[in-house]
Amino acid sequence: MGVRALQAASAVVVTLVLVAAVVWAARAWNASRVPARYDATELGPVDLGGAPPVHHHDGAAVDGVSVAALRERGTSDVRFTLTAAHATVRLPSRRVLDGLAFDGRIPGPELRVRQGDVVEVTLVNRDIRDGVSIHWHGVDVPNGEDGVAGMTQDAVPVGGRFTYRFRAEDAGTYWYHSHQRSADEVRRGLFGALVVEPRDPPPGEDLVVAAHSFGGPVALLPSGGRMHRRVAPGTPVRLRLLNADDHVHEFGLGGTAFRVVGIDGRELEAPEVVRAQTLAVPAGGRYDVAFAMPRSPVTLAANGSSDRISLGDGEATVDFSRMLDLTTYRARAPAVPTRFDRTFRIELGRKLGFFHGGVKLGRQWSINGKIHPHMPMLMVAEGEVDRIVFVNRSGSPHPMHLHGHHMLVLARNGRPVTTPWLVDSLDIRSGEQWDVAFRTDNPGIWMLHCHNLPHAAKGLVTHLAYEGVHTPYRMGTGSGNEPE
Ligand code: C2O
Ligand code: CU
């Protein structure tokens, strides 16, 4: 072949490659678009976890039920109102936040209720134009009380209200936050702690400490700065550590040995004592630690923050060098299932493509090789024990949060954990595999998403849906509902 012919041939090849690339990009872009109003259960394929679709025992398909019908019906024992509004809040550390607040406070009021109570909370939106909602993170509420805009309700508009009701069944530490434009609204302050106290609360000190960064340095709230509290030696102390941020935070407790007595609103039985250990609490997660106040001071800190919470006189040094590995922590083991009705594999990754019709080609978050909204939706029936195998190949950690259920942690990287524990938020780091089990005992349509909320806003979201449940609510820019 002559030089001319060679040049012509390569020009043809280059043209063909370019055309193919343009065709691919046009198709990928087109497929990435989402309607202005859409039913979040209808966009992606259904994943049945290796089991056949479910039918009633008599062979008929499951009757349809709307999420709007799945509400708490008991009579309320305790009532609160939370008003969401813009606020300028000065933390005790002097830091001034131009934020969004419940009842003018950041974090919002700490709600304390008794185990067994039916809790009623009325949300009022004073002036937040994007709308608001409240999700009860970690409380396995009836689906219609879950507070997800566009899935279980419409976002509450300015001047509107919505009343939530749920039974506080398990004593422990929870939190609440807006689930409308959550990446923005939670960062700016629309969150607070919820504590379910046991029926007979034990005596002693009981403190919630929340880590949140408002997009800047992390603060230990509600005090912020350096807080001191007098506690008499011998007093039982329970610290409830809440990570209300987008990234894992390492909490260190200096000056005392302690036990991990609760995780994500579930008590651990007979937990072992550990000393000078750092706890890595995933975004959205809560770890409760307990100890008897020694004669010398005890100090709580978070790695990377100058804030300190000190009990007793003075401050203890906090050593962040020894991380507690929960996979080898010892406590009394709960009953552990060995057979599963379904096994779902959720592989977190990245894939070149477009996001929601945007023009920027980039590496998007993916689940099982699909970019939102084409991620598979997990489909289950009531009364099962199912398993999820999370695999992370994305290069970034993802704190995965399942609504409405607790997941029993079984194994990391194929190795069974010493004492399985229950979570609603689990950090899946890159390169890791985690096996968890859960019971399908709470019908509805539930979000399963990354609690690094900017990741969720960029599509790291899927759903767990019970067969026969549907939603009348719509998401999308034209619906006013944008849960992430
Ligand atoms: Cu704490 Cu779907 O959220
Ligand atoms: Cu993530």
Per-residue pLDDT tens over the stretch 291-309: 999 999 999 999 999 999 9
Residue (of 470, 469, 471, 468) closest to 54 by Cα position:
468
Per-residue pLDDT tens over the stretch 93-119: 778 888 999 999 999 999 999 999 999
Mean pLDDT of 28-45: 89
Which residue has its alpha carbon closest to ligand 1 atom 3? 137
Per-residue pLDDT tens over the stretch 447-463: 999 999 999 999 999 99
Residue 52: pLDDT band (50, 70, 90) is confident
Per-residue pLDDT tens over the stretch 409-428: 999 999 999 999 999 999 99
Residue 192: pLDDT band (50, 70, 90) is very high
Residue 55 has a pLDDT of 57
Give the domain 37-67+334-470 fold.
Answer: Immunoglobulin-like (2.60.40)
CA–CA distance, 56 with 61 (Å, rounded to integer): 6
Say how many Å lie between the first and final Cα of the chain, rounded.
59
Residue 276 has a pLDDT of 77
Residue 428 φ then ψ, to 5°? -110, 105
Residue 59 has a pLDDT of 46
Instruction: Spell out which residues have Cβ within 5 A of ligand 2, the ion.
Output: 398, 450, 452, 455, 460
Residue 224 has a pLDDT of 84
Instruction: Check residues 242 and 90 and name the one with the higher pLDDT.
Output: 242
Q: 142-146, 354-358, 447-451 — which is least confidently predicted?
A: 354-358
Residue 2: pLDDT band (50, 70, 90) is confident
For the cut 80, the answer to whether the pLDDT of residue 62 exceeds it is no
Q: Which atom of ligand 1 is nearest to the CA of 175?
A: 1
For the cut 80, the answer to whether the pLDDT of residue 477 exceeds it is yes
Q: Which atom of ligand 1 is nearest to the CA of 456?
A: 2
Ligand 2 centre distance from Cα of residue 455 (Å): 5
Residue (of 94, 142, 63, 41) closest to 475 by Cα position:
41
Strand partners, 435: 389, 411
Q: What does CATH list as the number for 70-201?
A: 2.60.40.420
Residue (of 334, 372, 395) closest to 448 by Cα position:
372
Per-residue pLDDT tens over the stretch 146-186: 999 999 999 999 999 999 999 999 999 999 999 999 999 99
Ligand 1 centre distance from Cα of residue 317 (Å): 34
Q: What does CATH list as the number for 205-324?
A: 2.60.40.420
Q: Range(s) for CATH 2.60.40.420 in the chain? A: 37-67+334-470, 70-201, 205-324
Ligand 2 centre distance from Cα of residue 399 (Å): 6
For the cut 70, the answer to whether the pLDDT of residue 268 exceeds it is yes
Residue 406 has a pLDDT of 98
Average pLDDT, the chain: 94
Mean pLDDT of 242-261: 97
Region of residue 293 (left: phi > 0; alpha: psi -120 to 50; beta: else): beta
Q: Which atom of ligand 1 is nearest to the CA of 425?
A: 1
